Amino acid sequence: MRIAVLGAGAWGSALAISLSTRHQICLWSKDPNHAIQMNSQRINQSFLPGYPLPEALRITSSLNEALGAADFALIVVPIAGLRETLRAMAASKIKMPIIWGCKGFESDTTLLPHQVVEAEYSAILPYCCGVLSGPSFAEEVAQGLPTALTLASKDVDFSSRIAAVLHSPTLRIYTSQDVIGVETGGAIKNVITIAAGISDGIGFGHNARAALITRGLMEITRLGLALGGSMKTFMGLAGVGDLILTSTGDLSRNRKVGLMLAEGKSLNVILSELGHVAEGVHTAQSVLRLGDRLKIEMPITQAVCSILHEGVSARTAVEVLLNREQKTEIY
């Protein structure tokens, strides 16, 4: 099958590498210089160094070229670039099914990705679209290591068909109809991961990390249920699975943010050193605003926001969090 992978960051490049072993893939970067560099060096030195781009993988900075020869598009840009990408697709007049792999809430609107799609690319709705998410590090997918993801769509036939296309011995695809739950799990876990990284960086130990992950899962679940997600989803790959991976794996960019915050580095310095998007930084305030609007208590998210945007020290914020008043575990 012919697939346009839109977004040449680490995750887009890893998926393009993995899928190119059995499909015709065109990888699109909106930056012409980046596309030229990848074409000439056959590696994405900026975002996924060390993993060669297969010769069969086509690379372009022309959206029309990428879409013109594709059966469907896999959008793997940061959430901040989703609306712009969808508008460019709509302007191209080329209509096709889409899958998105963006994680987060749009900062200005607090919208989930599917809501942005509904606003900007409604021609294909409500069918032939969905979200791909789950516990996955780009480097491991590029290496061909075993990975399991969830593809959620309201269109059961579409999700089953696309899952069969993407599925391989090393990339297992499970289907779901819970688009909201899958998106919410993938968004909020990045915020919780920053908190877990801070705790580890301070040296609070494995017990504290386990407590933060578990209580973080409760925050994900409470907000996710309020938004319309399913409890089963939060107990699956796109919920607890993704949360465990990013909160404990050192390949996680959001975990690295937490570790560096614990060292006392400023957010500007951290983002400069990281060189990649860490979605949790941008998502935290959106999550907190949604929690306030829906009257849902989000103490871990509140702590992360206070560190990122209010100048509270990492140690102070985590200590306050761990010394909150006693209460029942489930509420």
How many angstroms separate the CA atoms of 99 and 91, rounded? Answer: 18
- What does the pLDDT read at residue 95? 87
The full set of domain ranges for the chain reads 2-177, 188-322
- What does the pLDDT read at residue 126? 57
- What does the pLDDT read at residue 322? 73
**How many Cβ atoms from other residues are within 10 Å of residue 31's Cβ?**
12
Residues 6+ apart with CB under 8 A from 214: none
| 188-322 CATH fold | N-(1-d-carboxylethyl)-l-norvaline Dehydrogenase; domain 2 (1.10.1040)
Question: Can you tell me whether residue 29 is helix, strand or coil?
Answer: coil
- What does the pLDDT read at residue 122? 79
How many angstroms separate the CA atoms of 206 and 203, rounded? Answer: 9
- What does the pLDDT read at residue 329? 78
Do the two domains 2-177 and 188-322 of this chain adopt the same fold?
A: no
Write the class of the CATH domain 2-177. Answer: alpha beta
- Give the pair of three-digit tokens for residue 282: 């941008």
Contact between 15 and 137 (Cβ < 8 Å): no
Tens of pLDDT along the chain (331 residues)?
Answer: 999 999 999 999 999 999 999 999 999 999 999 999 999 999 999 999 999 999 999 999 999 999 998 999 999 999 999 999 999 999 998 889 999 999 999 999 999 999 999 999 876 665 689 999 999 999 999 999 999 999 999 999 999 999 999 999 999 999 999 999 999 999 999 999 999 999 999 999 999 999 999 999 999 999 999 999 999 999 999 999 999 999 999 999 999 999 999 999 999 999 889 877 788 998 999 999 999 999 999 999 999 999 999 999 998 997 888 788 777 777 6
pTM of the model: 0.95
Task: Spot the catalytic one: 30, 93, 154, 189.
Answer: 189
**How many Cβ atoms from other residues are within 10 Å of residue 263's Cβ?**
12
The question of whether 189 is a catalytic residue gets the answer yes
What length does the chain have? 331
How many angstroms separate the CA atoms of 243 and 240, rounded? Answer: 5
How many angstroms separate the CA atoms of 76 and 130, rounded? Answer: 12
- What does the pLDDT read at residue 134? 98
